[in-house]
Chains A and B, each alone.
Chain A
Amino acid sequence: MNKVFSVRLWSRWCALLCCLAVLPGAALAQLKIDITSGVTDPVPIAIVPFASTGGADNGVDVAAIIQGDLEGSGRFRAMQRSAMTSTPSRAQDVQIAAWKSAGNDYVVVGRVSALGGGQIAVDFELLNALTGQQLANPRFVGSSAALRDAAHRCSDVIYEKILGVRGAFATRIAYVSVDGQPPAQRYQLIVADADGAGPRVILESHQPVMSPAWSPDGQWLAYVSFENKRSAIWVQQVTTGERRQVSARAGINGAPAWSPDARKLLLTLGGSGGNPNLYILDLGSQQLTRLTDGPSIDTEGAWAADGQSVYFTSDRSGGPQIYRQGIEPGARPRRVTFSGSYNARPRLSPDGTQMAIVTQDGSNYRIAVQDLASGTVRVLSHGRLDASPSFAPNGAMLIFSGIEGGHSILQRVSVDGLTSQRLRAESADVREPVWAPFTRPQG
């Protein structure tokens, strides 16, 4: 399956895998992607198999990974390899007219070469098949173990050059996987590449694990774990597994969200009286500041991009609706959702202009996006029990969970509603996906 592991990561994770191996049925929920809808006129592109000098690619098919990314987006149609009559790996060897007459608008050729010291370089050229113009020729250098990451970065460049939007293929997701029947369920918190490859269990428990949230630098996850028979909020470094409990106060400890400067966590505390309210926890000083008050359920806080206000779910008007409130003392909440009787779990787009929510649509729960300037709401999903939307770091897609065939699966939909994909695990329910922010190249 997945032959590529960063060597350093591998050594770090080796002990863990051994540890996991003794756990009964400790199988990873590897996700499989299906395209459920794409644009009617996908961009035709030929991604020629990359050349590899001296086995530099270690058997990793870089062109296949790029093809999987681009086709998986629903916006590209890749030429079949069997139809290719030549396999050039450099721009100067491409007979561009032949690729054009085969129906392609673009051609990608490239190669992987060893630089010594375990380093490799991936070079490629993106060519306009009509004009022969070279649109990009980047080089990615890194450890041979990070070749899969380099391939996703190639996809990011191609996507951006052709569609004008930064790609989000070289990113990761976290999600919760649940298997077993009640009351013997097993909960796993998993981190994987955005295409579902390379899943790694970062927490496993027989008590619920929920509400994962990425730190702004993509190095940490905050989450809620019931491992001590009550809710507590933890923060955990993803690569090392190092973790720390940051809130185990009386009653509910829930819904952590990192501030844009990563210094604070917005969270929900219930207290012994059981009224969930929003608080800000300063991770350095441990100082706790209360934001909301009263008998309503106030939860699911999300930071505005500037870190000066927060959006949250509250049932102060009867049913759940979204409110916005400044974080300064004495600030009052202002309601921001008005259509429908159930609007919950706000998540802001990276540019702060749009808000994804769970909305009740008849008897169905669906994912909608509200334009914050105009207030216009568009329902983007079609399921019965869709939940937990999370924006891709490029703002172009959402990932969320839904029920299909009796199982919880992950789904992605583009914010324009034109493309969607399904990510299924074979033997587990997967839910609460959260898309990580952009990070620097691996290796």
Chain B
Amino acid sequence: MRKILSLLLVVTVVALGACAHKPPKDTGQTAGSQVPAGALANGAGANGATGGAGAGTGEDVAGPQEGILAQRIIYFAFDSSDISGDGMALVTAHAHYLVSHPMMHVRLEGNTDERGSREYNIGLGERRAQAVRRAMLLQGVAETQLSTVSYGAERPQVDGHDDAAWAKNRRVVLNYVQ
């Protein structure tokens, strides 16, 4: 059984690899008469389908795993980009790690809950990511080690339409990238 599974995995990886060139490049070339496949083969979705972690999902396994550094998510109150006490302890721990590991790079992924309008939420998510970025810069992290992206309400951590789900979705994910 295990052999079959690993074979399947290999086949899947090969198949995904074969598709990986599909998304049109940033050159303004046209994709011709095809349904553009977007990023089907990239990262999160492909891995996530098996419940594993993937780049951009906020559960990336890259980066430090010791103690508090294994935690990668900073949660926020409703309509706020203020970092809480617990959140700041986590930001500080990662900032110290990044200062002592200047080759490491973190993508700060800002997210909101689903309420309100979508593009405005993109703005709110960016504000959260920038709040974490500023806190890290103040602690000596180099600008080149940080980048931000806002997913707004588009990539919830938890599916659901209540306070509990929303609290989990208002977050900044620290995503270590190689």
Question: What is the CB-to-nearest-CB distance from A297 to chain B, in angstroms, rounded to a whole number?
Answer: 3
Contact A252 B35 (CB under 8 A): no
User: In the complex, are the beta carbons of B157 and A182 less than 8 A apart?
Assistant: yes
Q: Contact flags (1/0) for A186-226 with B, using CB distance below 8 Å?
A: 11000000000000011111111111000000000000011
- Chain B proximity mask over A377-396: 1 for CB below 8 Å, otherwise 0: 00000001101100000000
A365 near B: Cβ within 8 Å? yes
Chain A contributes a number of interface residues (CB within 8 A of B) equal to 70
Cα of A255 to Cα of B48 in the assembled complex, Å: 28
Most chain A beta-carbon neighbours within 10 Å: one of B29, B42, B157, B158: B42
- Whether B44 lies near A226 (C-beta < 8 A) is no
- B145 located at the interface, meaning its Cβ lies under 8 Å from any Cβ of chain A in the complex: no
Of listed B33, B114, B160, residue having the most chain A CB within 10 A? B33
In residues 80-137 of chain B, which contact A (Cβ within 8 Å)?
114-120, 122-124, 126-127, 129-130, 133
> Chain B's nearest CB lies how many Å from the CB of A276?
4
Q: Is the CB of B155 within 8 A of A186?
A: no
A206, A227, A231, A241: the one within 8 Å of B46 (CB)? A206
Residue of A nearest to B79 (CB): A319
In the docked arrangement, what's the CA distance between A15 and B40, Å? 18
Minimum CB–CB distance from B6 to chain A (whole Å) comes to: 19
B126 nearest CB neighbor, chain A only: A274
* B89 vs chain A, min Cβ distance (A): 23
Taking the closest CB of chain A, its distance from the CB of B77, in whole angstroms, is 15
B31 touches A243 (CB 8 A): yes
> Is A229 a contact of B56 with CB atoms below 8 Å?
yes
B67 within 8 A of A: no
Given A182-B157, A183-B155, A274-B127, are A209 and B118 neighbors across the interface (CB < 8 Å)? Answer: no
Query: Which residue on A lies nearest to B114, using beta carbons?
Result: A385
Neighbour of B150 across the interface among A187, A270, A365, CB < 8 A: A270
* Complex Cα–Cα for A251 and B109 (A): 11
- Contact of A387 with B32 at beta-carbon distance under 8 Å, contacts A206-B45, A274-B129 already known: no
CA distance A211 to B133 in the complex (A): 26
B interface footprint on A221-243 (CB within 8 Å = 1, 0 otherwise): 00001111111100010001111
Cβ-defined contact, B59 with A183, below 8 A: yes
Nearest CB of A to B123, in Å: 3
A165 contacts B by Cβ under 8 Å: no
Q: Is A248 interfacial (CB-CB < 8 Å)?
A: yes
Query: Is B161 located at the chain interface by the 8 A CB criterion?
Result: yes
Residue B140 lies at the interface, judged by CB distance under 8 Å to chain A: no
Min CB distance B52 to A, Å, is: 9
What separation, in Å, do the CA atoms of A273 and B127 have in the docked complex?
A: 10
Contact B45 A186 (CB under 8 A): yes
A187 to B58, alpha carbons, bound, how many Å?
A: 18
Given contacts A184-B45, A207-B44, A243-B24, are A227 and B39 in contact (CB under 8 A)? yes
Interface pair A210/B118, CB less than 8 Å apart: yes
Closest A-chain residue to B149, C-beta based? A230
A387 to B35, CA, bound (A): 27
Contact with B along A7-20 (1 / 0, CB 8 A): 00000100110011
**A226 surroundings in chain B (CB, below 8 A):** 39, 149, 151, 154
Asked if B34 is at the interface of the complex by the 8 Å CB criterion, the answer is: yes
Q: Let me know if B40 and A344 touch, CB within 8 A.
A: no
**Interchain CB contact under 8 A, B49 and A184:** yes
Inter-chain contact B120/A320, CB cutoff 8 Å: yes
CB interface residues, A 253-273, toward B, < 8 Å: 254-255, 268, 270, 273
A248 nearest CB neighbor, chain B only = B26
Which residues from A are CB-within-8-Å of B56?
A: 207, 229
Q: Given A230-B149, A254-B122, A387-B117, A183 and B39 touching (CB < 8 A)?
A: no
Q: What's the Cα separation between A203 and B23 when bound, in Å?
A: 11
Q: Are B117 and A388 within 8 A (Cβ)?
A: yes
Bound complex: CA of A276 vs CA of B148, how far in Å?
13
* A90 CB, min distance to chain B CBs, angstroms: 43
- Closest CB of chain A to B80's CB: distance in Å? 12
Contacts of B19-75 to chain A: CB distance below 8 A: 23-24, 26, 28-40, 42-46, 48-49, 54-59
* A313 / chain B contacts, CB cutoff of 8 Å: 117, 119-120
Q: A207-B43, A244-B30, A270-B150 are in contact. List 15 more A-B contacts (CB 8 A).
A: A19-B35, A23-B40, A182-B157, A184-B44, A185-B155, A207-B39, A207-B45, A229-B39, A231-B122, A270-B123, A297-B124, A345-B118, A358-B117, A365-B115, A385-B115
- Sample 13 A-B pairs with CB under 8 A, ordered by A number: A19-B37, A183-B58, A185-B45, A202-B36, A208-B155, A252-B150, A313-B117, A313-B119, A358-B117, A360-B116, A365-B115, A385-B115, A388-B118
